[in-house]
């Protein structure tokens, strides 16, 4: 609206100025037109009466001439008529001829074509030479009443005024409408272009074509601003495993670092060929493992592999990584009932859907809750047992352990507990449906620091505590204080190691492209998209397939020329919802492929099995684009892995706006996975994007993932922990002995 006013006010002022100048001009012109008309009319009268008047002048008395003139002036505008004989001053005139006008007032030039004129008050006199002889004859004087001109001019001025007011109103209205529409259109267009949309999409959101030439410049500008902004947002340094290690040495020298998570980083499995080590498909593990390699601490986790018991020492510990041990896994054993209640039940059927809000109802059972409490206590005991000092740094990971921080606090009051919640935190209303909401919040508030991926989730957490608990919530320092314990709530966007260790064993992009196409029996120039996920309903795999189907409907030229590889790691198979999802994903892939029986290559290639990191990176390198379509995701590290894999600076990332990663990677094609048309448009853009544009986007994303890597994630949390410990130390130092 403000924008419209900025257009409108000068426009209306200009219009008023124009009206101010135009009205007198039009008025004067009207006056001249009327007078000219009267003169012409008078000349016509003179011409018409000339002949009869000659006759009368030749043989009639002045009284008959006056009577003739009186008849002529019955027309209301023809006021009077007179004849001035040559040399006379008193005219022979009709009755109304003003007595104070004599023949000298008008004297026609007999040689001129134009009549002589004069004004007398509201009367206009026109004289035309007439007579028996043109040289010696007198003048016919026609007198018109011009008062009607004044009233018509007033009327005209009034109409002109109305006209300009109406014109002003119309112009204002049109300006407001056009300004609003075009501003929205331009902004939309500009945004769309900056997001890489706008090349093919629904008409309502097509970017203004005139913006395209500017898009590149604007993007450059945005990047420049971002570059200037980023160092202030970060701490300027590039974190590596080595800098993290030396930071730990300088800031947290001699401290115990204990990590706790449900999923272990290395799983030992019995196979026909003997015991094999597997790396689980887990974002948490991907992020924390390199950190633990740098910290050399202990990682406490559920021993879930079939050969796990065979590979631990008598303290249930095993050194990892297997090739070069740099830290210990301490395995915790769970019975099938415990696993079903604590892991499948409360964690994954209760908290997981509760926090993701992905249209699957959370299920809460008191038996699951009891197991959840029991297993949290079991891990708390393990932390206490593993701690070599009374004040270890404990890294508690994820929603499996909401009660653990407070349990550790009770056993080790001086511990620095950093809890990281890897999944979204919902709004208070959504969270409040959990029957044990208070206990969960109280448990988490045992933490010294509680971390989330995004500020949005931090805000949701504070709102939830504010709404549900008796606690002091300080929104300036982002802390919660309850029962003398303060918890800082902080944003730490998780990431991956840079460069990813697995990349060392992955073929070049060119080779990977060839290998993958050969493996799948596809031609060299076949376009490939990739999706790599645990087969979880929050990942939006069905929505992804629907977008592919939509693409083929709208752009049939891709049929047989493009395939989408979905690598789907089976997960949480004991839970019905996951088994159903597995089936539905398979059925939809089959159904879409079935629609194109004549295509030489199927649109969707579904590989439902676990892949080790090296193979995952190989697929990333082989693809033309990667599609991450999470319906809700704390961060999503697959997006970052794809970026890390592309050291050729090619490849397009299509990324759900509901994944935390979209906040850090705006150069991806950001989509709403629920909008099949929009996703199909993004797929088409990805398949047709120029190598230059791919490079521009990929270069920026790589600089972000490189700088904001997992060492920085861990480093910032551990630095914050060191600062807290320092502060606590000062608090003790300043206490006066003996004073209560
Ligand atoms: O996203 C939360 C999370 O814990 C991730 O860290 C990990 O990707 C996933 O869940 C692992 O699930 P699970 O351990 O149940 O297989």
Q: CA 428, CA 467: separation in Å to the nearest integer?
A: 7
Residue 545 or residue 740, greater confidence:
545
Q: How far is the CA of 314 from the centre of ligand 1 (A)?
A: 28
By residue count, the chain amounts to 740
425 domain-assigned = yes
Q: What are the residues whose beta carbons fall under 8 Å from the beta carbon of 361, sequence distance 6 or more?
A: 353
The answer to whether residues 177 and 7 touch, using CB atoms and an 8 Å cutoff, is no
Same domain flag for 471 and 536: no
Task: Give the strand pairing for 298-302 and 669-671.
Answer: unpaired
Q: CA 446, CA 487: separation in Å to the nearest integer?
A: 7
Q: CA 565, CA 528: separation in Å to the nearest integer?
A: 7
Q: How far is the CA of 325 from the centre of ligand 1 (A)?
A: 24
Pocket probe for ligand 1: among 281, 342, 422, the residue whose CB has the most ligand atoms within 8 Å is 422
Q: How far is the CA of 283 from the centre of ligand 1 (A)?
A: 6
349 domain-assigned = yes
Residue 114 or residue 575, greater confidence:
575
Same domain flag for 291 and 394: yes
Q: How far is the CA of 293 from the centre of ligand 1 (A)?
A: 20
292 domain-assigned = yes
pTM of the model: 0.70
360 domain-assigned = yes
The answer to whether residues 339 and 303 touch, using CB atoms and an 8 Å cutoff, is no
Rounded mean pLDDT of 565-573?
A: 97
Residue 113 or residue 85, greater confidence:
85
Q: How far is the CA of 600 from the centre of ligand 1 (A)?
A: 37
Same domain flag for 526 and 643: yes
pLDDT tens figures, 468-523: 999 999 999 999 999 999 999 999 999 999 999 999 999 999 999 999 999 999 99
pLDDT of residue 103: 81
Q: Angle at Cα 262 formed by Cα 341 and Cα 422, nearest 5°? A: 105
464 domain-assigned = yes
Q: Calculate the CA 307 to chain-centre distance.
A: 48
| Ligand 1 neighbourhood includes 422 CB (under 6 angstroms) | yes
Residue 487 or residue 74, greater confidence:
487
Task: Give the strand pairing for 123-129 and 116-120.
Answer: antiparallel
| Ligand 1 neighbourhood includes 398 CB (under 6 angstroms) | yes
465 has a pLDDT exceeding 70: yes
692 domain-assigned = yes
Per-residue confidence at 255, pLDDT binned at 50, 70, 90? confident
Pocket probe for ligand 1: among 282, 349, 356, the residue whose CB has the most ligand atoms within 8 Å is 282
195 has a pLDDT exceeding 60: no
503 domain-assigned = no
| Ligand 1 neighbourhood includes 263 CB (under 6 angstroms) | yes
pLDDT of residue 142: 86
Please state the atom number of ligand 1 nearest to the C-alpha of residue 397: 4
pLDDT of residue 109: 54
Taking the chain, what is the end-to-end CA distance rounded to the nearest angstrom? 63
Look at residues 105, 133, 150 and tell me which one is the last residue of a structural domain.
150
Residue 115 or residue 450, greater confidence:
450
Same domain flag for 288 and 317: yes
Look at residues 86, 117, 150 and tell me which one is the last residue of a structural domain.
150
Look at residues 150, 177, 192 and tell me which one is the last residue of a structural domain.
150
Q: What CATH number does the domain containing 15 carry?
A: 3.30.450
Pocket probe for ligand 1: among 263, 304, 339, 399, the residue whose CB has the most ligand atoms within 8 Å is 263
| Ligand 1 neighbourhood includes 282 CB (under 6 angstroms) | yes
pLDDT of residue 48: 81
pLDDT of residue 369: 98
Classified as helix, coil or strand, 129 is: strand
Q: Angle at Cα 633 formed by Cα 627 and Cα 634, nearest 5°? A: 130
Q: What are the residues whose beta carbons fall under 8 Å from the beta carbon of 279, sequence distance 6 or more?
A: 265, 266, 267, 285, 612, 613
Q: How far is the CA of 638 from the centre of ligand 1 (A)?
A: 13
Q: CA 90, CA 85: separation in Å to the nearest integer?
A: 8
Q: Calculate the CA 621 to chain-centre distance.
A: 29
Question: Which of 20-34, 101-115, 216-230, 268-282 ranks highest by mean pLDDT?
Answer: 268-282
Considering its fold, how many domains does the chain have in total?
A: 3
Phi, psi angle pair for 328, to nearest 5°: -110, 140
Phi, psi angle pair for 321, to nearest 5°: -60, 150
315 has a pLDDT exceeding 50: yes
Per-residue confidence at 115, pLDDT binned at 50, 70, 90? low
pLDDT of residue 230: 47
| Ligand 1 neighbourhood includes 424 CB (under 6 angstroms) | no
DSSP 501-569: GGGGGS--HHHHHHHHHHHHT--TT-EEEEEEEES-GGG-HHHHHHHHHHHHHH-GGGTTTEEEEEEEE
Please state the atom number of ligand 1 nearest to the C-alpha of residue 635: 1
Same domain flag for 343 and 452: yes
Q: CA 526, CA 600: separation in Å to the nearest integer?
A: 11
Which residue in 183, 146, 138 sits closest to 7, CA to CA?
183
Could you tell me what percent of the chain has a pLDDT over 70? Answer: 88
430 has a pLDDT exceeding 80: yes
Q: CA 95, CA 361: separation in Å to the nearest integer?
A: 106
Same domain flag for 414 and 368: yes
Classified as helix, coil or strand, 383 is: helix
Please state the atom number of ligand 1 nearest to the C-alpha of residue 347: 15
pLDDT of residue 190: 56
Residue 555 or residue 84, greater confidence:
555
pLDDT of residue 88: 82
Q: What CATH number does the domain containing 487 carry?
A: 3.40.50.2000
Q: CA 564, CA 555: separation in Å to the nearest integer?
A: 15
pLDDT tens figures, 150-178: 777 787 778 888 888 888 788 778 777 77
| Ligand 1 neighbourhood includes 632 CB (under 6 angstroms) | no
Per-residue confidence at 196, pLDDT binned at 50, 70, 90? very low
Q: Which of 12-16, 494-498, 640-644 has the lowest mean pLDDT?
A: 12-16
The answer to whether residues 132 and 119 touch, using CB atoms and an 8 Å cutoff, is no
Same domain flag for 551 and 412: no
The answer to whether residues 705 and 229 touch, using CB atoms and an 8 Å cutoff, is no
298 DSSP β-pair partners: 258, 328
Could you tell me what percent of the chain has a pLDDT over 90? Answer: 62
Q: Whole domain around residue 625: which residue ranges? A: 508-707
The H-or-E segment that residue 583 falls in is helix 576-594
pLDDT of residue 187: 55
Output Rg (C-alpha) for the chain, integer angstroms.
46
Per-residue confidence at 6, pLDDT binned at 50, 70, 90? low
298 has a pLDDT exceeding 80: yes
Assess whether the previous peptide bond of 499 is cis (omega < 30° from 0): yes
Please state the atom number of ligand 1 nearest to the C-alpha of residue 571: 16
Residue 65 tokens read as 């001439």
pLDDT tens figures, 54-65: 888 888 888 888
Q: Calculate the CA 446 to chain-centre distance.
A: 37
Same domain flag for 449 and 565: no
Q: What is the mean pLDDT of the chain?
A: 88
Nearest-CA residue for atom 12 of ligand 1: 282
pLDDT of residue 685: 98
Nearest-CA residue for atom 9 of ligand 1: 282
Please state the atom number of ligand 1 nearest to the C-alpha of residue 280: 16
377 has a pLDDT exceeding 70: yes
Residue 703 or residue 198, greater confidence:
703
Q: CA 362, CA 374: separation in Å to the nearest integer?
A: 21
pLDDT of residue 165: 81
Residue 216 or residue 237, greater confidence:
237
Nearest-CA residue for atom 15 of ligand 1: 572
pLDDT tens figures, 386-423: 999 999 999 999 999 999 999 999 999 999 999 999 99
The answer to whether residues 412 and 446 touch, using CB atoms and an 8 Å cutoff, is no
| Ligand 1 neighbourhood includes 423 CB (under 6 angstroms) | yes
Per-residue confidence at 226, pLDDT binned at 50, 70, 90? low
Q: Which of 9-18, 130-139, 504-513 has the lowest mean pLDDT?
A: 130-139
Rounded mean pLDDT of 317-323?
A: 96
The answer to whether residues 672 and 678 touch, using CB atoms and an 8 Å cutoff, is yes
Same domain flag for 574 and 651: yes
Residue 527 tokens read as 């376009």
Please state the atom number of ligand 1 nearest to the C-alpha of residue 399: 4
Residue 218 or residue 647, greater confidence:
647
Please state the atom number of ligand 1 nearest to the C-alpha of residue 287: 6
Same domain flag for 14 and 43: yes
Q: CA 350, CA 361: separation in Å to the nearest integer?
A: 8
Please state the atom number of ligand 1 nearest to the C-alpha of residue 398: 4
Please state the atom number of ligand 1 nearest to the C-alpha of residue 343: 15
pLDDT of residue 64: 86
pLDDT tens figures, 662-682: 999 999 999 999 999 999 999
Q: How far is the CA of 282 from the centre of ligand 1 (A)?
A: 5
| Ligand 1 neighbourhood includes 533 CB (under 6 angstroms) | no
Q: CA 716, CA 362: separation in Å to the nearest integer?
A: 33
229 has a pLDDT exceeding 60: no
Q: How far is the CA of 352 from the centre of ligand 1 (A)?
A: 10
pLDDT of residue 100: 84
Same domain flag for 550 and 481: no
329 domain-assigned = yes
Q: What ranges in 109-253 are assigned the alpha helix state H?
A: 147-194, 212-233, 241-251
Pocket probe for ligand 1: among 264, 283, 397, 630, the residue whose CB has the most ligand atoms within 8 Å is 283
236 has a pLDDT exceeding 70: no
pLDDT of residue 499: 93
Q: Which of 47-51, 263-267, 464-468 has the lowest mean pLDDT?
A: 47-51
Burial class (CB in 10 A: 0-12, 13-18, 19+), 420: buried
Please state the atom number of ligand 1 nearest to the C-alpha of residue 637: 8
pLDDT of residue 232: 37
| Ligand 1 neighbourhood includes 572 CB (under 6 angstroms) | yes
Half-sphere exposure of 99 (CA within 13 A, CB side): 0
Same domain flag for 332 and 295: yes
Residue 336 tokens read as 């099938």
pLDDT of residue 121: 80
Residue 52 or residue 590, greater confidence:
590
Q: How far is the CA of 281 from the centre of ligand 1 (A)?
A: 8
């Amino acid at each position: 609206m403000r924008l419209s006013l900025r257009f409108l006010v000068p426009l209306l002022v200009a219009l008023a100025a124009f009206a101010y100048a135009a009205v007198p001009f039009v008025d004067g012109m009207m006056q001249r037109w009327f007078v000219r008309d009267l003169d012409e009319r008078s000349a016509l009268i003179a011409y018409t009466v000339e002949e009869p008047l000659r006759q009368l002048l030749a043989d009639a008395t002045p009284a008959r001439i006056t009577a003739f003139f009186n008849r002529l002036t019955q027309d209301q505008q023809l006021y009077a008529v007179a004849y001035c004989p040559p040399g006379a001053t008193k005219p022979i005139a009709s009755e109304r001829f003003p007595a104070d006008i004599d023949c000298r007032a008008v004297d026609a030039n007999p040689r001129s074509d134009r009549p002589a004129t004069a004004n007398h008050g509201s009367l206009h006199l026109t004289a035309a030479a007439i007579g028996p002889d043109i040289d010696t004859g007198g003048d016919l004087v026609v007198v018109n009443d011009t008062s009607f001109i004044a009233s018509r001019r007033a009327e005209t001025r009034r109409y002109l005024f109305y006209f300009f007011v109406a014109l002003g109103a119309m112009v204002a209205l049109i300006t407001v409408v056009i300004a609003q529409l075009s501003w929205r259109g331009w902004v939309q267009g500009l945004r769309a272009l900056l997001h890489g949309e706008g090349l093919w999409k629904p008409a309502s959101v097509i970017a203004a074509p005139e913006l395209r030439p500017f898009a590149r410049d604007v993007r450059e500008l945005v990047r420049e601003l971002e570059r200037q902004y980023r160092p202030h947002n970060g701490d300027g340094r590039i974190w590596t495993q080595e800098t993290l290690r030396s930071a730990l040495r300088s800031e947290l020298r001699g401290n115990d670092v204990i990590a706790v998570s449900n999923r272990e980083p290395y799983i030992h499995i019995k196979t026909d060929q003997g015991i094999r080590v597997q790396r689980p498909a887990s974002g948490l593990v991907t992020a924390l493992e390199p950190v633990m390699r740098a910290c050399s601490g202990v990682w406490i986790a559920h021993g879930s592999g079939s050969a796990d018991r065979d590979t631990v020492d008598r303290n249930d510990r095993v050194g990892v990584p297997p090739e070069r041990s740099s830290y210990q896994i301490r395995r915790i054993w769970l019975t099938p009932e415990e696993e079903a209640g604590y892991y499948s039940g409360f964690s994954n059927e209760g908290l997981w859907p509760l926090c993701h809000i992905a249209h699957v109802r959370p299920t809460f059972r008191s038996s699951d809750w009891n197991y959840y409490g029991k297993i949290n206590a079991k891990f708390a005991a393990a932390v206490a047992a593993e701690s070599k000092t009374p004040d270890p740094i404990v890294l508690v990971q994820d929603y499996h352990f909401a009660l653990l921080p407070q349990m550790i606090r009770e056993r080790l009051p001086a511990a620095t507990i950093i809890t990281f919640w890897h999944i979204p935190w919902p709004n208070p209303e959504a969270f409040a449906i959990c029957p044990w909401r208070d206990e969960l919040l109280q448990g988490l508030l045992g933490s010294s620091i509680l971390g989330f991926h995004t500020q949005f989730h931090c805000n949701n957490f504070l709102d939830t505590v504010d709404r549900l608990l008796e606690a002091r919530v300080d929104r300036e320092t982002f802390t919660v204080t309850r029962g003398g314990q303060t918890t800082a709530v902080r944003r730490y966007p998780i990431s991956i190691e840079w460069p990813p260790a697995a990349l060392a064993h992955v073929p070049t992009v060119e080779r990977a492209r060839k290998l993958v196409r050969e493996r799948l029996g596809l031609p060299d120039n076949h376009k490939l998209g990739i999706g790599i996920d645990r087969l979880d309903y929050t990942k939006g795999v069905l929505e992804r397939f629907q977008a592919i189907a939509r693409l083929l409907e709208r752009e049939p030229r891709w049929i047989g020329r493009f395939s989408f590889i979905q690598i789907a790691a089976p997960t949480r198979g004991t839970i019905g919802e996951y088994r159903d999802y597995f089936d539905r994903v398979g059925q939809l892939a089959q159904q879409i492929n079935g629609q194109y029986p004549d295509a030489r290559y199927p649109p969707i290639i579904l590989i439902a099995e676990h892949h080790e990191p090296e193979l995952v990176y190989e697929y990333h390198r082989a693809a033309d684009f990667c599609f991450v379509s999470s319906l809700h995701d704390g961060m999503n590290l697959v997006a970052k892995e794809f970026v890390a894999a592309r050291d050729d600076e090619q490849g397009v990332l299509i990324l759900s706006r509901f994944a935390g990663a979209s906040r850090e990677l705006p150069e991806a094609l950001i989509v709403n996975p629920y909008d099949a048309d929009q996703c199909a448009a993004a797929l088409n853009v990805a398949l047709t994007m120029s190598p230059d544009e791919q490079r521009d986007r990929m270069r920026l994303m790589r600089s972000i993932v490189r700088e904001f890597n997992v060492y920085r994630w861990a480093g910032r949390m551990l630095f914050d922990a060191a600062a807290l410990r320092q502060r606590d130390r000062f608090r003790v130092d300043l206490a006066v002995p003996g004073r209560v």
